[in-house]
Structure 1
Amino acid sequence: MEDFPIEKNQELEVTIVDLTHLGMGIAKIEGYPIFIENALPQEKVRIRVLKVGKKFGFGKVLTLIQESPYRQAVENEDLLRTGVAPLSHLQYKQQLEFKQEQVKNVIVKTAKMPDIQVKDTIGMEQPFGYRNKAQIPVRKIDGVLQTGFYRKNSHELVPLDHFYIQDPAIDAAIVVIREILQQFEVKVYNEKNNSGFLRHIVIRRGYQTHEMMVVLVTRKEHFFQGEKIAQKIQEKLPEVVSIIQNINPKQTNVILGAEEKVLLGRNFIYDQLLGKTFRISAKSFYQVNTQQAEVLYQKAFDLADLKKSDVVVDAYSGIGTIGLSLADQVAHVYGMETIKQAVVDAQENAKLNDINNAEYIAGKAGTIMPQWQKEGIQPNVIFVDPPRKGLDQSFIETTCEMNPEKIVYISCNPATMARDLKVFAESGYFTDSIQPVDLFPQTHHVETVMVLQKH
């Protein structure tokens, strides 16, 4: 039996000394860390121990004895409990400092490159109501169709109407759609036995255009009165130009399935970003914070210091937001993306914006880059904006073999970014500074952008 300085259900008075990278408070008892939700550095709290593990435990705040000077009131504690807005109790200036510290930590500990300067995080003037996309689970609670979000580390739905970080028009639309689905007595998905019908409501809204897409994720294909429901939704919500049924029969926590059907309107919406128009499909990647995406991309272009003669590769190109936004500043853009529909969107977006010097291809970067190399395509600037898992080592090697003057790396995960920087360094590519940009206020996530060059 291991000896811990604390035990489950014990009540303790502790002082919070730091935050974890997920934004939980850290207290230490004889060097043993306890992670506590809704607790900030400098606070004294009375807690109950919820769980004791080998290396750390978890606790719950019972009483706040001494408050942090940086605490702010949260309009709904469920925003913290569900992880929708886990930092909303911390003043925004301190959130930006916290994110800068997260980046500094991984640069020192993971990348072992303490000389890289981590700049101040670029924040938003209005750090709420920014999300242009919502993916909301639907469950039945006491016989009523409810929407909300899961309690952290569980599959228990906490009903929520106002998500604080989402576009308020999306929040309002979810309530309207929920009421229509209830009227039509649509059966709701039951996760435990993979039965029932409606799983999620997904909504996208163009930040500039206000066009709205509604995706109803169902377990089965046959949607009784589906078209009628779609018409009713559009009647109540005139901004809706696209209603799609996405079919996901699998017992999985992946939200969207492979098959989709248009119930009403078209299968995409339009929006504008940096003066260009983009067509966005249900499965396409499009930054959820349009305002800050413009700030992030503009920062990337400034760092790249583009010239009219540049040949640019846009790896992980999505619907072409990066490549097409910079196309008129360079000679040629080559983009690649694994999701076929996103490539179709990128090709359409090039036409839509009268861009003739950009081409997009579907496939994995690790396969296409060597192919381009054989064809003699020689980019001097390569943009990478990978998913959270970061870059494959083979992709980094292939990128470096193409010997570009600059690699512009946009990352949504500081941990994998720091790991990748070490691999780039092995091929002689380094950066002097990293710019964090806050695309996800009130959460622990942070984007970073930097330019790597040969030293």
Structure 2
Amino acid sequence: MNHRKNDVLTLKIEDMGNDGEGIGKADGYTLFVKDAVIGDEVEVKIMKAKKHYGYAHLEKVVTPSPYRVEPLCPIARPCGGCQLQAMSYEEQLRFKQNKVLNNLTRIGGFPESDIPIEPILGMDEPFYYRNKAVFPIRADKDGNLITGFYAGRTHNIINNRRCYLGVKENEQVLDIVIAWMERNHITAYDEAAGNGLVRHILIRYGFSTKEVMVCLVINGKNLSRTEDLIEDLREIPGMTSITTCTNTKQTNVIMGDKIDLLWGQTYITDYIGKIQFQISPLSFYQVNPAQTKVLYETALEYADLHGDETVWDLYCGIGTISLFLAQKAKQVYGVEIVPEAIKDARHNAKLNKIENAKFFTGRAEDVLPDKYEKEQIHADVIVVDPPRKGCEESVLDTMIQMQPEKIVYVSCDSATLARDLKYLCRHGYEMKRVRGVDQFSQTVHVETACLLVRKP
């Protein structure tokens, strides 16, 4: 039976795709339905029809799934920030566990019976966990200032100051900044025209220190009339850092590279476990410190260090995993291509009085062989935590060439993880342990830690 655009059908949602969309069949024809939950019976309208599958809009839930819950956030559906709020948390964890398993079998080619998967580590409180939020500021068609997050796959702002993934301080900051802009007739950035002053508001919060940072990203050199803004922001308990960041480029990159201090200091401090970090508006830092600690403790457990190992941490960023490993290893070497991150890593090592961690700027595939050949620095354990696109093949080849006893692979995308594990397991390694960690509750993303051991 041919299905066409605008057809209305009723179907049962039997599976879920990688992006959290429900999957159901109508007379053998597969439909992907955003906002539908596995187990729902739904009425849908076809928006796009291909030969063997189509995309449909959820018109109404006829019979709700036993896993369907009322989202905490009233705009969870139009907003692009969360994908899974209508699904119970237990089911979210099951979905993520299956996502890791499916990627390892389908993309990695590992038989399911051979995958040593351990239960996913979930959160005690799966809301209010993000320590960073960036809110774009725009004027609507009537000239009113609005802020919020973009609707999925667009640059249309869903007007909302209360995000349930972030901290309550976010809403207070937004109320103060927008009221100040309105009083002083300060303009919001216009993406299309490239004019207007305030582009974004970046807010960071130290969960362990309760310190708050506010940075206004501006399309100009400086802000005027800031006295009452500073006065009002300082009313928020924990306010530590108020800055501006200049970004005058017509681009969708959020931050510029120049930070100016308005009040306080240019950084806040936070801890992951016992390790202290100084975070500036430009620092890369994990957005969920509670689960980052869980993830890093899992990586540390997998590395099973006894105090006499040399460990290489590739894609080390600001040294978060390196400093964690340094507590148990003899020597840690971190490699990262971004010079500012390496500067932060060295500073964080000093801050924590960690002397057995050394950092190099460059590509792992250049630094490792060079140190091995010139200084005979080998690797007992290699830890990798690459960006979403996974490891370059040249990095995988370098790891194989270094022949570490163990490789601990930390991944934010289990599809590229599966691809890379397939390659490493073809070249002398076997997968011994693997575990998901839910670092981004209410969204489809899942972190994974994996232990590979060299075959004898």
* TM-score bracket for the superposition, by shorter chain length: over 0.9
Q: Take 1:54 and 1:268, find their aligned partners in 2: how far apart are those partners? A: 54
Name the structure 2 match of 1:47.
44
Contact 2:433 2:452 (C-alpha < 8 Å) held by counterparts: no
Conserved? CA contact 1:132–1:288, under 8 Å:
yes
Partner of 1:13: 10
Q: Is the 8 A contact 1:242 1:269 kept in 2?
A: yes
CA deviation vs aligned residue, 1:239-267 (integer Å, no higher than 9, x gap):
22222322333333222233333333332
One-letter amino acid matched to 1:294: K
- 1:218-249 CA-to-partner distances (Å, cap 9, x unmatched) read 233x2231754662454333422222322333
Matches of 1:445 and 1:362, distance apart in 2: 29
CA, structure 1 residues 417+453, in 2 after alignment: closer, same or farther (shift >3 Å)?
A: same
In structure 1, C-alpha distance between the alignment counterparts of 2:206 and 2:73, rounded to whole Å: 27
Does the 8 Å CA contact 1:9/1:49 hold for their aligned counterparts? Answer: yes
CA shift, 1:164, in A, is 0.9
Structure 1: gaps of 5 or more residues: none
Q: Count matched residues.
A: 451
Match of 1:157 in 2: 157
- Note the C-alpha offset of 1:431: 0.9
**1:27·1:33 contact (CA, 8 Å) conserved in 2?**
yes
Give 2:437's aligned amino acid.
V
For residue 190 of structure 1, what is the aligned residue in structure 2? Answer: 190
Matched, 1:58 2:55: yes
Q: Please identify, of 86-95 and 210-219, the stretch whose mean Cα deviation from structure 2 is larger.
A: 210-219
Contact 1:281 1:341 in 2 (8 A): no
Normalised by the size of structure 1, how large is the TM-score?
A: 0.94
Residue aligning to 2:244? 245
The residue aligned with 1:223 is: 222
CA shift for structure 1 position 55: 5.3
1:72 to 2:69 alignment:
yes
Find the aligned partners of 1:67 and 1:383 in 2 and give their Cα distance.
44
Contact 1:311 1:379 survives alignment (8 Å):
yes
Secondary structure of the 1:432 match is strand
The one-letter code of the counterpart of 2:24 is A
Please say if 1:82 is aligned against 2:63.
Answer: no
Residue 129 of structure 1 is matched in structure 2 by 128
Q: Cα distance 1:372–1:181, how it changes in 2: closer, same or farther (>3 A)?
A: farther
Alignment of 1:38-437 (within 5 A): 38-53=35-50, 56-114=53-111, 115-141=114-140, 142-220=142-220, 222-225=221-224, 227-228=226-227, 231-232=230-231, 234-374=233-373, 375-437=375-437
Cα distance in 1 for partners of 2:354, 2:224 equals 42
2:34 equivalent to 1:33: no
Report SS of the residue matched to 1:322.
helix
Note closer, same or farther for the CA distance 1:180–1:49 as it changes in structure 2 (3 Å cut): same
Contact 2:299 2:449 in 1 (8 A): yes
What secondary structure is seen at the aligned counterpart in 2 of 1:121?
A: strand
**How far does residue 166 in structure 1 lie from its aligned partner after superposition?**
1.1
SS of 2:61 mapped into structure 1: strand
CA gap of 1:90–1:394, structure 2 versus 1, over 3 A, is same
Q: Using the TM superposition, name which of 401-410 and 238-247 deviates more.
A: 238-247
Whole-Å Cα distance in 1 between the matches of residues 129 and 172 of structure 2? 14
Q: What SS does the corresponding residue of 1:188 show, helix, strand or coil?
A: coil
CA contact (8 A) 2:150 2:157 kept: yes
TM-score (norm 2): 0.94
Aligned residues of 1:79 and 1:163 also touching (Cα < 8 A) = no
CA contact (8 A) 1:170 1:205 kept: no
Partner Cα separation in structure 2 for residue 440 and residue 138 of structure 1: 24
Amino acid at match of 2:70: A
- Structure 1 residues 360 and 55: CA distance shift in structure 2, 3 A: farther
Counterpart pick for 1:24 among 21, 46, 71: 21
The Cα offsets for residues 61-109 of structure 1, whole Å up to 9 and x where unpaired, read as 2221111011111133422322222101101111000001001111111
Aligned pair in 2 of structure 1 residues 363, 100: CA closer, same or farther (>3 Å)?
A: same
The answer to whether the 8 Å contact 2:432/2:453 transfers is no
The secondary structure found in structure 2 opposite 1:216 is strand
- Aligned mates of 2:106, 2:252 — CA distance in 1: 32
1:99-144 Cα distance to aligned partner (Å, 9 max, x none): 0100111111100012112222110111110001111111112322
Deviation track 1:11-51 (CA, whole Å, cap 9, x = no partner) reads: 22222121111111112234332221221122111122222
What runs of 5+ residues in structure 2 fail to find an aligned partner? none
8 A contact 1:200–1:255 mirrored in 2? yes
Instruction: Name the aligned partner's letter for residue 321 of structure 2.
Output: I
